[in-house]
Structure 1
Amino acid sequence: MDEVKIGEILQPVGGSEGRRREETVRRKFWRTLRRAAGQIPFAEDLVAGFYCAIDPDTPPRVRGILFAALAYFVMPVDIVPDFLAGFGFTDDVTVLLTALTAVKAHIRPAHRLAARNALMTNEKQRA
């Protein structure tokens, strides 16, 4: 996936499109994460990024980048369709890693702790 395409995907938007992305991510994030868990080796970082995105204290531009990447992750139709076994989340991984790397300074210890707790709770519920 080339840098130009990733840059287009991660471009923060305002107004109704930004609100639509946020609503979509909030509604579909956990279900998509469960479906992709085996293909996303950095689940804790991803969940910490989710908590950073929904944190109202996170700068708007950072939230926009995260919501753009997370919206790409939760939408089933993208460059490589997610239903393709073994390949479906490869483009999502690239977009997510790029976004998380770009905003890593804004992912605070509280976001990481919330991610660990959420993942542990999910594990206990599945057991």
Structure 2
Amino acid sequence: MEEDKIESVKKGFWEKVKKVAGKVPFLPDAIALYFAMLDPDTPLKAKLTIAGALTYFLTPWDVIPDVFLGAGYLDDAAVIAAVIQAATIFIKEEHRNKAKEFLGSASKEQKI
């Protein structure tokens, strides 16, 4: 049951990333969290915490709905920042590099 949360994030994550690319400054952090969640070395408890934050990011109807430009992603950013602080020991440089690589290649392909 707990792994369902992780699977749910996997299904919707990249679609959301493409949708918000260039609009939210915390996107590299969200992507690094995603890669940390997928890492077999990350403990299940940390994976579930990360999945919870990413699920919140994926959900358009949250405390401040994402349709409100500017303010709509402030709550998402706060949740991502809190999880980065809580799970920082599980976010490896490798995860951050993968996020940078993805964003670099995506911007070249799609001109994000």
- Which TM-score tier does this pair reach, normalised by the shorter chain? 0.7 to 0.9
- Residues 27-70 of structure 1 show CA distances to partners (whole Å, capped at 9, x for unaligned) of 11122123333442232222111100111210111111100000
Aligned with 2:55 (options 67, 71, 80)? 71
Q: In percent, how many aligned pairs have the same letter?
A: 32
TM-score by length of 2: 0.88
Amino acid of the residue matched to residue 63 of structure 1?
K
TM-score scaled to structure 1, two decimals? 0.78
Which runs of 4 or more aligned residues in structure 1 lie more than 3 Å from their structure 2 counterparts after TM superposition?
Answer: none
Where do residues 116-127 of structure 1 align in structure 2 (5 Å cutoff)? Answer: 116-127=100-111
Task: Give the unaligned 5+ runs of structure 2.
Answer: none
- SS across alignment from 2:87: helix
Q: Are 2:34 and 1:50 aligned?
A: yes
Structure 1 unaligned spans of 5+? 1-15
Task: Provide the alpha-carbon RMSD of the alignment.
Answer: 1.5
> Aligned equivalents of 1:89 and 1:41: distance in 2?
10
Contact 1:66 1:99 in 2 (8 A): yes
**Aligned with residue 108 of structure 1, among 89, 92, 95:** 92
- In structure 2, the residue matched to 1:19 is 3
AA aligned opposite 1:75: T
